[in-house]
Amino acid sequence: MLKKTLHAKASHDMSNTTRSRWAAALLAATLTAGGFLAGTRAFAAQPAGSQPAAPAEEEAVKALQAEFLKLKFGMFIHFNMATFHGVEWVAGYPDPSTFDPGGPVDTDAWADAAVSAGMKYAVLTAKHVGGFCLWDSQYTTYDVLHPRCPYKQDLVAQFIKSFKSRGLKAGLYYCWRHPGFGDPNKHKVLPPECDPAAHSLKEQIEFQKAQLAELVARYPDVFYIWNDALDPKVMSAEEARAFFHSLRGKRPRLLASANWWSWAKKGTPYLDIAVKEMRRFPETNTFPGETCWKLEQSWFWKKGARPKPPAEVIRLLTTANSRNSNFLLNVGPDRRGRMEPASVRTLAEVGKLRKP
C-alpha cells in the first residue's frame, strides 16, 4: 500500500529527509502508476484548458446542475480536529490523540436529523484547516487511523453509509491551502507530509489533487466535492475545471463547488456550483448556486451553542431557493459527535413547517 511505503511511522512529525522522500515517491507514482490516480495526475499535468469538456459533457453537467438545484436543502457538518480545541481554525498540528469522541460517533443520528428537516443531502468536513483527515488517507498518517488517534474508524465511510441508507446524497468538504492563510507555521491546512512551511505551492497543489482523487476513487457514492478556499490564487479556473473534468472521467455524475477566499468574490462562478457564505445571492442570479449558513453561532461546536428559530431558518431557505440556490445549513456536533438537542428539535420543527 502506498501509504505504508511512504509513511510507515508512529508519529505525524516528519524530517526534511522524509519530506523529500515523499515528494520523490509521489512524483514517481504520478509518472508510472496505473489506474485512477495516475490518469488523473497525468491529465492535470497538461496545460490548463488543453482538453476542454466536450459539448456532450457540458450538457451532462447542466443536467447535473439542474438536479442539484432540485435538492434545495442540505446539511453542512463541521466536525474535525477544531471540534476538540474550541476554535474555528486549528493552528499547527494538534496531537492526533486529541481527536477523541469517547466512542463511536452516531452518524445515523446525524442522518436522522437531516431527514427530519426535509434535507436531501449533506456535506462533511473530510479535511479542514487543521489538515487532519477523517479517512485513512494513503498520503498521510495524520488521520483517524493514526496510531495515537483513539477513534480508529473511517468517519467518511460511516457518514456516507448513514446518509445513503436514508436516501440522502453525500458530499465532502475539502479545504485548500490558499496563500491568504499567510504564515505557513500557523494554519497548516495540509498534513505534515506536505507541511506548507517546507513545500512549494506547486507541491501543495499536487498533494491536494492527489487526496481529492483518492476520495473520489475510494468513495463512489460521493456526488459532490465542496472546495473551500479554492480560487484563481490557487489555480486558474481553467486548470481547476480540467482537474475536475479528469475526475469526472471516472465519476460522471460528480459535481464540484468552490468557496472563494475573498468575501467580495464569493458567489462568483468558478466550478459547477457557485457558493455564497453567510450572504445571499442577488435576486438576479442565474448561475447554479449554494448558500451556506450556520444554524448555531459558529461552524464548529462550542459550549453554549444555540440554534436559530425555525421560522428564521425557513426564511433563509426560502430566499436562497428563490435565487437559484440551494441552502446548506451547518450543524456542529459536539466532542462526543452529538448534535445539540435544541438544534435537533429545531431541525424537526423546520421539517414540519415545510410540509404542505
pLDDT in tens, the chain (356 residues): 344 334 433 344 444 444 444 444 454 444 333 333 443 343 333 333 435 567 888 999 999 999 999 999 999 999 999 999 999 999 999 999 999 999 999 999 999 999 999 999 999 999 999 999 999 999 999 999 999 999 999 999 999 999 999 999 999 999 999 999 999 999 999 999 999 999 999 999 999 999 999 999 999 999 999 999 999 999 999 999 999 999 999 999 999 999 999 999 999 999 999 999 999 999 999 999 999 999 999 999 999 999 999 999 999 999 999 999 999 999 999 999 999 999 999 999 999 999 75
Grid cell 496531537 is found at: 95
Pairing mode of beta strands 73-77, 273-277: unpaired
Residue 343 grid coordinates = 438544534
φ/ψ bin of 116: left (φ > 0), alpha (ψ from -120 to 50), beta (otherwise): alpha
Q: Give the pLDDT score at 37.
A: 42
Please give the full DSSP string across 103-124, using - where no structure is assigned. Answer: S---HHHHHHHHHHHT--EEEE
pLDDT for the residue numbered 322 = 98
Instruction: Give pLDDT, residue 26.
Output: 53
Paired residues of 172 in beta bridges:
124, 225
Domains of the chain: 2-354 (3.20.20.80)
CA distance 174 to 225: 7
Sorted by sequence, the CB contacts under 8 Å of residue 341 that are 6+ apart come out as: none
Residue (of 290, 305, 302) closest to 257 by Cα position: 290
Query: What does the pLDDT read at residue 52?
Result: 58
CA separation (Å) from 345 to 113, 197, 307, 341, 349?
A: 9, 44, 9, 6, 6
Q: What is the pLDDT of residue 355?
A: 78
Sign of the Cα torsion 179, 77, 159, 12 reads positive
